[in-house]
Amino acid sequence: MRIEGIESILRDELEQLRQRIIANMERVGAIASGRTRDSMRVEVNEDGGILYGGRPYGAPFGTLETGRKAGKTPYNFAAIIRQWMDDKGIAATPKGNQSQEAANKSLAWAIAISIGKRGTLLHRNGGRNDVYSNEIPTTIANIQSRALDVLKLEIQSIKLND
């Protein structure tokens, strides 16, 4: 069997999956800085193919659908939330003579504490399956169908060469 044909199919289908996931992330508003989106990459070799997603030391890719459960948070979680606020264009309303930055830091701290105690709203609402989970069966079916077509051609070639 021509392994190059299968590798090409895997690369093509995984790239299409990557693009559909990105479109879904955009549709549900799951892109803040774009770092998670930009971390997605396809690797294919003779053993198979993988679509990688997520960033080292960042939120796990799965939280796009599950949200973040309550519990221990990174020591700098308020700073992570503060960066997320900047990326999303979220700003607090200063109180009294409070500076904008102080108000933003205060809001980030409050959000971080709330997530640590209760989890994200997405998690509390049961998550969703419309970012990547619903796309995987389609990709598997497409790979199977296209790989079978390659195998059929290879078998026909063997018959013709008898």
Q: Quick check: 19 and 37 in contact, CB under 8 A?
A: no
Judge if 8 and 49 occupy the same domain: yes
- Coil, helix or strand at residue 42: strand
> Is residue 55 located within the same domain as residue 17?
yes
Same domain? For 132 and 98 the reply is: no
- Cα-based angle 108, 130, 18 (whole degrees, multiple of 5): 90
What are the contacts of 84-87 at 24+ separation with CB within 8 A?
84/32, 84/33, 85/111, 87/32, 87/33
Residues 95 and 60 in one domain: no
pTM score over 0.85: no
Name the domain count of the chain: 2
Are residue 2 and residue 35 in the same domain, yes or no? Answer: yes
Which range of residues forms the domain containing residue 35?
1-65+127-162
The structure tokens 């195998």 sit at 151
- The per-residue pLDDT string of the chain (162 residues; one tens digit each, 9 = 90 and over) reads 466 788 999 999 999 999 999 999 999 999 988 888 999 999 998 888 999 987 665 667 888 999 999 999 988 999 999 999 999 999 999 999 999 999 999 999 999 999 999 999 999 999 999 999 999 999 999 999 988 877 776 666 665 555
| Residues 12, 84 within the same domain | no
Q: Are residues 134 and 54 in the same domain?
A: yes
Q: Is 110 helix (H, G, I), strand (E, B) or coil?
A: helix
